[in-house]
């Protein structure tokens, strides 16, 4: 008998404080993309930090999506001093996500990193981040358009050039596409072990793959999860991730038999 019919996909929680209490949460758009497009079951990974037994949790999962967030990775994790420009922070997520990425890859489990998750991936591999890209010479303004209309804020803004023959090209089947842009920070020094799969016209890295990965292992700076079912690129990305999760689940089932 199969271990499960629907792959279980873990997503790390963001932590915020209200009235003196801490809350763990995940944006609905990520859960909808996993449920509605990938046709998998989303599972929250609480951000409990160093005390958390991630291995026991990962034993039950078939893939992980590192989500975007309002917060940024705390600069000491990549060798810099924190400033107001780097805020806001989420130390609980940092303490969970950087460990989580390493453990997921050790298992050759499918991994899809989005926005903050994309930046976490670079930091986990030893890379650095740049803040306030719009203030750097020769850079576009990568922040979201100023609008109360979410379709405008998450609408496509600039093109990215996709590396021909790479895993992102294999999934999307094209060498350029137009993406949304909702970030202030970005990759500064690319970590060893990562390969650039797409970049913006100003040279900002927009997608990476993990060298020698045994399965789906991609990160993107944009937000494919927003109304994913209405965007053909997003559908391809989440469907490819879902197939990798099913394949991973099937291998786990065979090992347990």
Which pLDDT score is estimated for 2? 47
Ordered by where they begin, the domains of the chain are 8-256 (3.40.50.880)
Task: Give the integer Cα–Cα distance in Å for 38 and 245.
Answer: 10
Task: Give the integer Cα–Cα distance in Å for 159 and 139.
Answer: 14
pLDDT tens digit sequence for 157-199 = 999 999 999 999 999 999 999 999 998 889 999 999 999 999 9
Token pair 């460990």 in the structure block, residue: 99
pLDDT tens digit sequence for 127-144 = 999 988 777 777 887 888
Model confidence at 207, in pLDDT bands (50, 70, 90)? very high
Which of the residues are catalytic? 115, 223, 225
Judge contact between 74 and 33, C-beta under 8 A.
no
Q: Can you say whether the dihedral through the CA atoms of 122, 124, 125, 129 is positive or negative?
A: positive
pLDDT tens digit sequence for 29-60 = 999 999 999 999 999 999 999 889 999 999 99
Average pLDDT, the chain: 93
- Which residue in 86, 83, 85, 60 sits closest to 73, CA to CA? 86
Give the ranges where the chain is alpha helix by DSSP (H). Answer: 28-32, 54-58, 91-106, 116-124, 150-153, 167-172, 232-256
Judge contact between 197 and 169, C-beta under 8 A.
yes
Which pLDDT score is estimated for 257? 55
Model confidence at 1, in pLDDT bands (50, 70, 90)? very low
Percent of the chain beyond pLDDT 70?
96
């Amino acid at each position: 008998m199969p271990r499960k019919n629907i792959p279980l996909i873990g997503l790390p929680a963001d932590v915020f404080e209200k009235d003196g209490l801490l809350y763990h949460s995940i944006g609905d758009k990520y859960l909808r993309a996993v449920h509605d497009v990938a046709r998998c079951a989303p599972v929250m990974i609480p951000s409990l930090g160093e005390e958390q037994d991630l291995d026991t949790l990962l034993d039950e999962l078939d893939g992980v999506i590192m989500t975007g967030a309002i917060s940024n990775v705390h600069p000491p994790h990549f060798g810099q001093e924190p400033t107001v420009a780097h805020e806001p922070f989420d130390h609980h997520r940092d303490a969970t996500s950087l460990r989580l990425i390493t453990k997921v890859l050790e298992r050759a489990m499918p991994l899809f990193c989005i926005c903050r998750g994309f930046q976490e991936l670079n930091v986990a591999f030893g890379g650095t981040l740049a803040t306030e890209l719009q203030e750097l010479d020769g850079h576009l303004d990568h922040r979201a358009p100023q609008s109360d209309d979410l379709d405008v804020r998450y609408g496509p803004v600039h093109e990215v050039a996709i590396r021909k023959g790479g895993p992102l090209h294999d999934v999307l089947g094209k060498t350029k596409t137009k993406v949304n842009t909702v970030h202030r920070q970005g990759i500064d020094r690319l970590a060893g072990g990562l390969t650039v799969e797409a970049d913006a016209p100003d040279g900002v890295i927009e997608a990476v793959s993990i060298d020698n990965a045994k399965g789906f292992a991609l990160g993107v700076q944009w937000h494919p999860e927003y109304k994913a079912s209405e965007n053909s690129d997003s559908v391809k990305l989440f469907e490819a991730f879902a197939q990798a999760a099913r394949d991973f689940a099937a291998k786990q089932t065979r090992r347990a038999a």
